[in-house]
Amino acid sequence: MNIELKQQTAWKKWFGFALFISLITYAAFAVSSKASKEVARDSLTFQTVEQGPLDVYANAYGELYSAKERLLTAPAMGKVSEILIRPGTKITPETVILLLSNPKLVQEVNQAKGLLAQQQAQREAFKYEQQNLRLNYQGRIADIEAEIEKAQLELSVNENLMDLGVASKIELQRAKLSVKQQNKRLEFEKEKYQQFIEMQSYQLTQRDITITQQKSQVTLLEQQLDDMQVKAGINGSLQSLDVELGQSVQLGESLARVGSNDELIARLRLPQQQADQIDIGALVSINTQKGLITARISRIESIVSQGSVLAEAVITSELTSNSRPSLSISAQIFVRHDPKATYIKQVPGLRPRSKQSLFVKNNEDSLLQKDVVFGELSEEKLMINSGLSAGDEIISSDTRQYEKFDQLSISH
């Protein structure tokens, strides 16, 4: 029994040792096959990392909008009786877009005109009536002045007679008193006449104010009636029409929107991560598919929506032939100038602002896989933040099939 147990134990040891050696050999083969792979040079495309000055631009998309827009609203309550043009039509300030009807407004205009004519007639009648009253006052003043002359004549006669000793002293005193009384009457009548003139002036002014107010009312109503022919007011095009034929509208209700065609601005959606780096006044190059337009950033909003920030740019060059409101555009916005940028030419598969593994040339016969951090993409040049240096050569062709290898051997 004891001899058989020893023989069985030795056999197991030899079997275990052989199995261990097999596993080690297989593992070494697997590691070796993962670490390196031979690739033909003709199947690879190389690109050299460069360094130099580079203007960094942010890519953006957006639309052209009218710099001048006007909302047309109902000048009074009415009904849409006629629509003359539709959205997209070019317009001038005098272009009539639609007609509104309101019989009650027409009646109000006629009533206001009638009341104005009545007030003007009453003012003229009042003016002639006051002229007659002024003549009456002037007549009384003339009578008093005549009485004064008569009294002065009697006084002069009595004074002469008194000198001759013919007239009595009492007659002389009576003549003096009469002259004095008539002078006071004249003074009093002239004061009354002056007050009457002032009062008459105020009454005329009051009537003039009433007439002026009525004229303003007539002008307002006439303007409302004229505005029932809804006009564009600016050069451009009709952008939207908010009413239908036969629809009733209230005062101030929106009817249509018009905008300029020749004066446009660009509204752009900036990438959120680059919006803070863009300055007001930054240069913008806009592509309209039929040419380039230059502009400058005039406003940047602070609200982030779906990963982008809205900005406006004022166009500073001539428009292209296809420029119009709502035209979709692409743009490049200047961010900064980097005097020593490290970059490579953009190729399919390389993504801005990402970390990727690339095969970098180690020597003439081998490639090593490295982690590379990319920055912004500007003018088809992809900036490198880390992982590569100027002069390094990378494989720019598709190497996804070799991702499991740490290095590649180049065969000739």
Q: What is residue 181's predicted lDDT score, i.e. its pLDDT? A: 78
Contact at 8 Å (CB) between 120 and 211? Answer: yes
Residue closest to 78 by CA, chosen among 97, 106, 100, 96: 100
Which letter does DSSP use for residue 140 in this model?
H
Q: What is the pTM of this model?
A: 0.56
286 - beta bridge partners? 293, 331
- The H or E element containing residue 66 is strand 50-66
Pairwise CA distance, residues 69 & 237, whole Å = 10
Contact at 8 Å (CB) between 186 and 150? Answer: no
Contact at 8 Å (CB) between 333 and 284? Answer: yes
CA torsion, ordered 136, 141, 143, 149, to nearest 10 deg: -170
Pairwise CA distance, residues 5 & 268, whole Å = 87
Q: Any idea what the Cα angle at residue 155 is, between residues 149 and 156, rounded to 5°?
A: 90
Angle, helix 169-227 to helix 103-164, in steps of 10 degrees: 170
Burial of 149 (0-12, 13-18, 19+ CB in 10 A): exposed
Pairwise CA distance, residues 38 & 407, whole Å = 9
Contact at 8 Å (CB) between 360 and 48? Answer: no
Pairwise CA distance, residues 247 & 99, whole Å = 11
Residue 212 to residues 199, 264, 353: CA-CA distances in angstroms? 20, 43, 72
Q: What is residue 321's predicted lDDT score, i.e. its pLDDT? A: 87
Q: What is residue 114's predicted lDDT score, i.e. its pLDDT? A: 92
Tens-level pLDDT at each residue, the chain (412 residues): 444 444 445 555 555 565 656 556 554 444 444 456 777 777 777 888 888 888 888 888 999 988 888 999 999 899 999 999 998 888 999 999 999 999 998 899 999 999 999 988 888 888 888 888 788 777 787 877 777 777 777 767 667 766 666 556 777 677 777 778 778 887 888 888 888 888 888 888 888 889 999 999 999 999 888 989 999 988 988 989 999 999 999 999 999 999 988 889 999 998 888 888 888 999 999 999 999 999 999 999 888 888 889 999 999 999 888 888 888 999 988 888 888 888 888 888 788 888 888 888 877 778 888 888 888 887 788 888 888 888 888 877 777 777 787 777 777 6
| Tokens standing for residue 163 | 């000198």
Alpha helix ranges (H) inside 36-168:
103-164
Q: What is residue 348's predicted lDDT score, i.e. its pLDDT? A: 82
Q: What is residue 62's predicted lDDT score, i.e. its pLDDT? A: 92
Pairwise CA distance, residues 388 & 366, whole Å = 17
